[in-house]
Amino acid sequence: MKMNHALLILAGALLLGGCSSTTVSYGDATATETVTVDYGSSDLQAIADKMADSLLASPAASEITAGGRPVMFMDSIRNKTSEHIDTEAITDTLRTRLLRSGKFRFVDMSKVAAVRQQLEYQQGSGMVDPAAMVRLGKQTGARYMVYGNLSSIVKDNGKVKDVYYQMTMNLMDLQSGELEWADQKEIRKQAKTSTFGW
């Protein structure tokens, strides 16, 4: 009888242990996420917000936008960390914030090859109405370039992992080569590992 009871408890435990369920829910996209010390969505938002606010509030922005909306292009941000980080998400978020301000216009240099292919098709295929054709050499050139670097320093002694991120952004006048604006955003994250008995 005791043996049957023990087997029944064991079978129940195995069944409960083998059954799992997953619940999916929406979260607040702006809430701070602290799952790991790795670069995450909160870091992206903090960097993009700081850089956009800093550039928009700078004397350089006031000066270069006094006569209208200057054309800029955003170069790819260099990932100098040891992590695989999608830096395109930072450039996209920052460019979107700056465009929403209504102070700047952007050209998208990442699409030059696709644009060239479309223009060559329009010019050479004979399939596009000449009245509706976009003419080669009529694109607007950028006057300013925004670019930056994301770097990190990682320290780990087995008990504490400390990650320091530094984002540096610059605005360059392409005509003069002068830096009009620069700023940095720093983020430090720590994870502590606790062991029983400590």
Q: What is the pLDDT of residues 167-196, one digit of tens each?
A: 999 999 999 999 999 999 999 988 888 765
| Dist CA 50 CA 138 (whole Å) | 35
Q: What are the residues facing 72 on neighbouring strands? A: 106, 144
pTM of the model: 0.74
- Best mean pLDDT range from 62-66, 88-92, 156-160: 62-66
41, 28 contact by CB (below 8 A): no
